[in-house]
Amino acid sequence: MSTIKPVNQKAWWLVLPVVVCVAFSAVLPLMTVVNYSLQDIISPERRVFVGTEWFAAAMRDEELHSALWRQLTFSLAVLTVEIPLGIMLALSMPAKGWKASAVLVVVALSLLIPWNVVGTIWQIFGRADIGLLGAMLQKMGFDYNYTGNATHAWLTVLVMDVWHWTPLVALLCYAGLRSIPDAYYQAARIDGASRFAVFRYIQLPKMRGVLMIAVLLRFMDSFMIYTEPFVLTGGGPGNATTFLSEYLTQKAVGQFDVGPAAAFSLIYFLIILLLCFILYNWMQRVGTADKEGAGHE
């Protein structure tokens, strides 16, 4: 008895809705960007095909390079601060009872505030004349001024992002921690494990999944940060807080350099994709690699 399935090409029609949806939501918009990136549009009637010229220009653009480095440094700083801080926060949150609910609400609060409002809050908060933070630092003798000092501006944006998004990392970790069965903690007590060993060998491995999501989300979001620094500093002073999105917007909307902006959009997209891919694969391997031959060292 042969069990060869009859070939029915009509099944392709079932895939059609998905193809249409993806085409309109992703492929077509992306293709228009590809289209712009290959042309020099002088006016709606006059356009010249320029090939990869805009890409080459983007590669040589010094300002863009510094924006990229600024961006990478910022994202790295965001991850190095927010991930450990979020884990610590989650570890210190109460596990059950009314306190747990109260703490959850308080922690989640900053996540509910719209981006531009966050920017506005910090803009006022940090003002040296009337802002609570700014005026206080002035009183304490620090010459804090985020509108004039590049380092201060950069740090303020970082602190703002930490304030805004660490709760997300904390909530994810908290969920991961709550899913660890009691038996693990009991076994650890019986095995005589220290508090650090419990963290290192039980809590951290069990949080792997949620941490991976937290790292990827925070990386992507911080790499695309736009609204908050735009409201807070407008990218300044100078270019100190001009991150990639900011720079791109200046190009595309401010100067209407559609071609270079489109070329850079594609590069930007590929950079995020590549970095996420690398991060994801690296995290997949951490802690799961078979320690062949490592033995009981």
Partner 1 sequence: MARIDLDLAHSYLPDPQQDADYALLPLQMSFEDGGAYALLGPSGCGKTTMLNIMSGLLAPSRGSVKFDGEDVTQRSPQQRNIAQVFQFPVIYDTMTVADNLAFPLRNRRMPEAQIRKRVGEIAEMLELSGQLNRRAADLAADAKQKISLGRGLVRPDVSAVLFDEPLTVIDPHLKWQLRRKLKQIHHELKLTLIYVTHDQVEALTFADQVMVMTRGQAVQVGSADALFERPQHTFVGHFIGSPGMNFLPARTVGGKLEVAGRTLALPPNLGLPDGELKLGIRPEYVALTTADDTAALPVTVVQALDIGTHVLLTGQCAGSDLKIKARLSPELAAPQRGDTVWLRVLEAHTCFYKNEELIP
Site membership for partner 1, residue 212 (CB under 8 A): no
Query: Rounded CA gap, 241 and 97, in Å?
Result: 43
Among 19, 31, 111, 187, binds partner 1 (CB under 8 A): 187
Strand pairing partners for 160?
Answer: none
Among 184, 199, 226, 280, binds partner 1 (CB under 8 A): 184
Q: Which is nearer to partner 1, 184 or 280 (CB)?
A: 184
Residue 193 in contact with partner 1, rule: CB under 8 A? yes
When binding is defined by CB under 8 A, the residue of 183, 195, 238, 285 that contacts partner 1 is: 183
Compare residues 114 and 287 and give the one whose CB is closer to partner 1.
287
Between 6 and 295, CB nearer to partner 1:
295
Q: Which of 105, 191, 253, 278 binds partner 1 (CB under 8 A)?
A: 191
Token representation of residue 168? 């997300």
User: Where do runs of H (alpha helix) occur along the chain?
Assistant: 12-22, 28-37, 53-60, 62-92, 98-108, 115-125, 132-139, 150-178, 182-190, 195-198, 204-206, 208-223, 227-232, 244-249, 258-285
Residues 241/153, Cβ–Cβ less than 8 Å: yes
> What secondary structure does DSSP assign to 204-266, as a single string?
HHHTHHHHHHHHHHHHHHHHT--HHHHHHTTT-STTTT--HHHHHHIIIIIS--HHHHHHHHH
The distance of closest approach from Cβ of residue 218 to partner 1 in the complex, given in angstroms and rounded to an integer, is 23
Burial (Cβ within 10 Å: 0-12, 13-18, ≥19) of residue 156: buried
Among 194, 195, 238, 285, binds partner 1 (CB under 8 A): 194
Q: Which of 162, 161, 157 is CA-nearest to residue 146?
A: 157
When asked if residue 296 is in the footprint of partner 1 (CB under 8 A), the reply is yes
Strand partners, 49: 39
Q: Which two tokens stand for residue 213?
A: 């999501």
Among 115, 199, 201, 280, which residue sits at the site for partner 1 (rule: CB under 8 A)?
201
Spatial contact of 74 and 243, defined as CB atoms under 8 Å apart: yes
Q: How far is the CB of 291 from partner 1 (least distance, A)?
A: 5
Q: Is 290 in the site for partner 1 (CB under 8 A)?
A: yes
Q: How many chain residues bind partner 1 (CB under 8 A)?
A: 25
Please pick, from the candidates 133, 205, 213, 220, the single residue that binds partner 1 as defined by CB under 8 A: 205
Contacting range for partner 1; rule: CB under 8 A; set: 99-107, 193-201, 241-249, 269-277: 193-201
Interface with partner 1 includes 47 (CB under 8 A)?
A: no
Residue span binding partner 1 (CB under 8 A) among the ranges 152-160, 179-187, 230-238, 247-255: 179-187
Q: Which two tokens stand for residue 92?
A: 């210190």
Query: Residue 198 corresponds to which amino acid?
Result: V
Single residue of 17, 141, 192, 238 touching partner 1 by CB under 8 A: 192
| Closest distance of CB 273 from partner 1, Å | 29
Please report, as ranges, the residues that interact with partner 1 according to CB under 8 A. Answer: 181, 183-184, 186-187, 189-194, 197, 201-202, 205-206, 287-288, 290-296
